[in-house]
């Protein structure tokens, strides 16, 4: 049984919502090439399912589930764990929760996306049955993104 505690940031919360700030912090540490503002995170929380994981009061990681749509019954599940907490089952727990949510939302397929410089994240995805489907650069980027699909 996991000893992690989860909170869901509220996209309609006041600007000082600590959970939104914690989700943003984890994202910006792991995806340093694409830092998000608090307004960006608030907007994401309105259209995606975001969670923040804590061990006690210590911030451990965050996750995103982009829900499937009528046009594409594919959900994207992303789990991010701060480096000091990797290898302790936190990613497993975040991923399992995201996968469960995606399936309850009707996803027929599961994808994830990893910044290619995130070697730990890429190894985690490959170890969990994802296969690479595409590598690409966003405008102005120098580090490729990798799209993967659960086989």
Q: Name the residue ranges covered by the structural domains of the chain.
A: 4-150
Do the Cβ atoms of 113 and 136 come closer than 8 Å? no
CA distance 80 to 94: 8
The mean per-residue pLDDT over the stretch 13-41 comes to: 89
Tallying the residues shown for the chain, one arrives at 151
CATH 3.40.30.120 fits domain 4-150: no
Output the pLDDT for position 17. 81
Q: Which residue has the higher pLDDT, 2 or 13?
A: 2
Which run of H or of E encompasses 136? strand 130-136
pLDDT of 37: 94
């Amino acid at each position: 049984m996991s000893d992690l505690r989860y909170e869901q940031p509220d996209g309609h919360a006041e600007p000082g919502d600590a959970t939104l700030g914690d989700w943003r912090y984890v994202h910006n540490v792991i995806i340093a090439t694409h830092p998000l503002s608090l307004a960006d995170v608030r907007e994401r929380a309105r259209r995606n399912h975001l969670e923040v994981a804590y061990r006690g009061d210590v911030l451990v990681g965050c996750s995103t589930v982009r829900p499937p749509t009528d046009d594409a019954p594919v959900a994207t599940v992303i789990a991010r764990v701060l480096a000091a907490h990797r290898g302790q089952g936190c990613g497993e727990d975040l991923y399992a929760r995201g996968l469960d949510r995606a399936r309850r939302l009707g996803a027929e397929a599961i994808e994830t996306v990893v910044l290619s410089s995130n070697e730990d994240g890429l190894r985690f995805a490959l170890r969990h049955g994802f296969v690479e489907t595409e590598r690409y650069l966003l405008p102005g980027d120098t580090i490729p993104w990798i799209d993967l699909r659960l086989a």
